Amino acid sequence: MQDCLFCKIIKGEIKSKKVFENESVFAFEDINPTAPIHILVVPKKHFASLNEMTPEDKDIVGEIFLAAKNIAKEKNIDKSGYRTVFNTGPDAGQAIYHIHLHLLGGRKFSWPAG
């Protein structure tokens, strides 16, 4: 999508610190990390949010989570633990409308979420 920040990051038009890439998924460091490890995992195909996902997209949802799992292992937070979050819509504080899975680790997180 033309005016989407994360589409531009995926295409390399805007710089990012890439962590992982395959055919369908791109992962990069969050510019404003809220944990020692804060990585965003995004599909290369543009979806505004989880609300746009359909049954045809179930493979890409799986790809996103599998990439997060592999990155967590590479970053050595698989045993200590980590949080994976899709923020969807205003109440969840979604700011960028290209779906992204937050992979957060390296510290303890409280629950329930604030």
Which residues carry out catalysis? 100
Rounded alpha-carbon distances, angstroms, from residue 18 to 3, 8, 41, 78, 96: 20, 13, 10, 20, 18
According to DSSP, residue 75 is labeled T
Instruction: Say if residues 7 and 1 touch (Cβ distance below 8 Å).
Output: yes
Residue 48, interface with ligand 5GP (CB under 6 A)?
no
Span 70-109, contacts to Zn ion by CB under 5 A = 98
The binder of 98, among ligand 5GP, Zn ion, none, by C-beta within 5 to 8 A per type, is: Zn ion
Closest CB to Zn ion among 1 and 31?
1
By CB under 5 A, is residue 4 in contact with Zn ion?
yes
